[in-house]
Amino acid sequence: MEVLLHEASTVGVGGESVVNHQSAEKPVILVQDDTTTDITFTRLPPQQPIDILFQDIVFTASLGFRKGKKEILHRINGRFPPGQLIAIMGPSGAGKSTLLDILSGYRIRGVTGKVYANGVIRNLKAFRKSSCYIQQDDRLQPLLTTQENMQIAADLKLPSEVPKSEKNEIIDEILKMLGLFETKNTKGSGLSGGQRKRLSIALELINNPTVMFLDEPTTGLDSSSCSQCIKLLKDLAQQGRTIICTIHQPSASLFQLFDQVYVLSSGNCLYQGTTQRLVQFLADVNSPCPMYHNPADYVIELACGEFGSDIINVMVDKTSNGKSLAYFNKDILPKLDNYTAGNSVSSNESTTDEGGLQATSSLNQLKVLLKRGYIKTKRDQTLTYMRFVVNAFTGVMLGTLYWQAGWDGTKVLDNYNLLFSILMHHMMSTMMLTILTCMLSKRNVDINKRTFQQMVLPKNVLHCRYAVIIYTMTGQPLEMNRFCMFFVISQLVVFVAQSFGLVIGAVCDVVNGTFLGPTLSVPMMMFAGFGVSLRDLPSYLYWGSYISYLRYGLEGIVGAIYGLDRPTIFCPDDAYCHYKYPIKFLEDIAIKGDQFGNDVIALVITLFFFRMLAYALLRYKLMAVR
């Protein structure tokens, strides 16, 4: 690979090139050894190259309730031509990620200005179909292998008409190009940092995007992995793609790999042009880059204000806040007009805007997610096997503690406590696990598809073995209809508790969520009729019994055991059985034994309500972020 530098001497410091800038007049060619495998990617971009132009972009962020607003980007301009690997640089807080979010269409609120694609106002929906956004944190499924991750991505991103054999050919070609073919059977959790980053890129290459946005693609990688990642992006850009990535402070050797750089400082554009002409620009603004100094480091020092604010103002004026193309490569300038002429516009016309953003139907997406969920459930020892063991252990423990209490007339109250304990176990364990899982999802990926998947693929289905263990050990009536009623109520309480956990997790952070969940469970218990009979509730609090899903669960499960005109309960000789007649017990605890159907309906309605509420809250937070 050839790298164009200004006349310089290179000094190896820790394996990194340091450039001595002495002259901008005599460029020389340095040849670096590229050890990466040279495999041509035959799947060229399916559309015309996209030339991105943005004008007078302003972004205003809200500081919170009654705290006002702050302008982050100040009428910046720029142009990102295709076939270029472009770096957005700047110190922390300069607005790099914000600009990337705006250009990718991820952030739309609080934004003014215009973004053009090939000379016409960007059609956001069509643009999003032909672009991808790879965020800083890896979005991989750690329990799936490289091959499985790619297959699921192909099933979601490619039309259903594409045969499986063709999908496999596409996957193999991408994996070979990115050097991941040997890791096909390696789980995501077993990949190195560089491999995970390349797999993140591979997943987006499935549908062959024309524009690629990457937020800090070198974060967490060593120098060798950084170099491989950037060289890969450069190869993809040379095929006609527009590749834009934010990068904080690249090394000298890494900086040379970029075709173009866009430097930001406090929301203003300091420089826009090729990496080779940056040194000339610095000389033109009377701030020449010192000898033996990495120009990328030096321009960041200028952007941080280490040399005063005057030089920043001079640089902003020199570039006209991004309008000037004076430091672009002279060879590319004549081509820019071609991107806005003739049929080049077609890549952003409404003809590409037909249908939704998804390549396959909702039914096929559900099928793929169910398949993925099954694989994850089978391999997830923490959330599957451990839950199974804990539930079985809890069943044995409660069964031992309340041994044969269900048929003994002297232990009716004990059995009632058991039934409530079962519901409490279902409610608390499921709710808290869901709250913590939802927090983890939000922390890792903002609002992740994993949370939405939980809404259509509940993974907290209790094993029938748990119900059988506790039902038989505690001596409950051995009648199939009663067992089925017991099992159905238990399952519905689990699903409702999971949905309640999703609502809390969608609103609160980890600390508040783990506090709010148990706190809200206390009135649920009180209004269920445990500890205080429903008839003893004050009239001004009785309304709470109608919104407590635990009340319907308790009524349904007690009705399953003691309702349905259950005959007299066995009473041992010489023992007093106050509740040998089930009807008397139901009257004393103010529970009707014939409300099973109504209880099921109430739980289903509550389940539907919480699911829709969680979905609405998550969607609101997603839109608020954008």
Contact 501, 438 (CB under 8 A): yes
Span 415-421, mean pLDDT? 90
Q: What share of the chain is helix, strand, coil (3-state, %, to 5)?
A: 50, 15, 35
Per-residue DSSP letters for 349-381? SGGGG-S-S-SS-HHHHHHHHHHHHHHHHHH-I
Residue 211 is predicted with a pLDDT of: 93
- In this model, does residue 7 exceed pLDDT 50? no
- In this model, does residue 427 exceed pLDDT 70? yes
Q: If you search the block for the tokens 């006002």, which residue do you land on? A: 68
Strand intervals (E) in 109-210: 111-117, 120-121, 131-134
Contact 394, 178 (CB under 8 A): no
Span 447-468, mean pLDDT? 52
φ, ψ for residue 2 (rounded to 5)?
-95, 135
Residue 448 is predicted with a pLDDT of: 40
φ, ψ for residue 54 (rounded to 5)?
-130, 140
- Tell me the C-alpha distance between 472 and 568, whole Å: 19
Compute CA distances 302 → 263, 299, 307, whole Å.
10, 5, 6
- Tell me the C-alpha distance between 204 and 207, whole Å: 7
- In Å, the largest CA–CA distance within the chain is 112
Residue 280 is predicted with a pLDDT of: 93
φ, ψ for residue 7 (rounded to 5)?
-50, 120
For residue 61, the one-letter residue type is A
Residue-wise pLDDT tens digits, 190-244: 888 888 888 988 888 888 889 999 998 888 788 888 888 888 889 888 888 899 9
- pLDDT band of 382, cuts 50, 70, 90: low
Q: Which residues, 6+ apart, have CB-to-CB distance to 440 below 8 Å?
A: none
Going by the DSSP 8-state scheme, the letter that residue 198 receives in this structure is H
- Tell me the C-alpha distance between 298 and 286, whole Å: 13
Find how far residue 558's CA is from the centre of its chain.
42
- Tell me the C-alpha distance between 158 and 176, whole Å: 20
Residue 366 is predicted with a pLDDT of: 82
- In this model, does residue 388 exceed pLDDT 50? yes
- pLDDT band of 384, cuts 50, 70, 90: low
Q: Which residues, 6+ apart, have CB-to-CB distance to 485 below 8 Å?
A: 556, 557, 559, 560, 596
Write down the domain spans for the chain: 9-353, 380-625
- pLDDT band of 600, cuts 50, 70, 90: very high
The structural architecture, per CATH, of the domain 9-353 is 3-Layer(aba) Sandwich (3.40)
- Tell me the C-alpha distance between 388 and 384, whole Å: 6
List the single range of 111-120, 217-226, 335-344, 523-532 with lowest mean pLDDT: 335-344
Contact 253, 268 (CB under 8 A): no
- Tell me the C-alpha distance between 254 and 618, whole Å: 39
Residue-wise pLDDT tens digits, 126-154: 898 889 998 877 778 888 999 999 999 89
Output the six-digit token pair for 570: 């066995």
Give me the helices (H) in 565-595, please: 582-588
- pLDDT band of 441, cuts 50, 70, 90: low
Interaxial angle between packed helices 596-625 and 480-507, expressed in degrees from 0 to 180 and rounded to the nearest 10: 20
Residue 387 is predicted with a pLDDT of: 73
Residue 486 is predicted with a pLDDT of: 92
List the single range of 38-42, 309-313, 459-463, 611-615 with lowest mean pLDDT: 459-463
Interaxial angle between packed helices 146-157 and 193-205, expressed in degrees from 0 to 180 and rounded to the nearest 10: 20
Contact 547, 523 (CB under 8 A): no
State what percent of residues in the chain have pLDDT above 70.
83
- In this model, does residue 601 exceed pLDDT 90? yes
Q: Which of 213, 308, 318 is nearest to 271 (CA)?
A: 318
- In this model, does residue 390 exceed pLDDT 50? yes
Residue-wise pLDDT tens digits, 13-27: 333 343 444 333 333
List the single range of 270-274, 280-284, 321-325, 373-377 with lowest mean pLDDT: 373-377
Please tell me the total number of residues recorded for the chain in this structure.
Answer: 626
Q: Which residues, 6+ apart, have CB-to-CB distance to 158 below 8 Å?
A: 167, 170, 206, 207, 359, 360
List the single range of 250-254, 371-375, 439-443 with lowest mean pLDDT: 439-443
Residue 59 is predicted with a pLDDT of: 93
- Tell me the C-alpha distance between 280 and 289, whole Å: 9
β pairing state of 131-134 and 211-215: parallel
Residue 317 is predicted with a pLDDT of: 94
Output the six-digit token pair for 64: 């919170």
286 φψ region: left (φ > 0), alpha (ψ -120 to 50), beta (else): left
Q: If you search the block for the tokens 């450069």, which residue do you land on? A: 234
- In this model, does residue 275 exceed pLDDT 60? yes
List the single range of 70-74, 122-126, 149-153, 336-340 with lowest mean pLDDT: 336-340
Residue 376 is predicted with a pLDDT of: 81
Q: Which residues, 6+ apart, have CB-to-CB distance to 66 below 8 Å?
A: none
Span 447-461, mean pLDDT? 44
- Tell me the C-alpha distance between 246 and 96, whole Å: 6
Residue 245 is predicted with a pLDDT of: 93
Span 262-273, mean pLDDT? 94
- pLDDT band of 312, cuts 50, 70, 90: very high
Mean pLDDT of the chain: 81
List the single range of 68-77, 359-368, 374-383, 402-411 with lowest mean pLDDT: 374-383
- pLDDT band of 443, cuts 50, 70, 90: very low
Residue 350 is predicted with a pLDDT of: 41
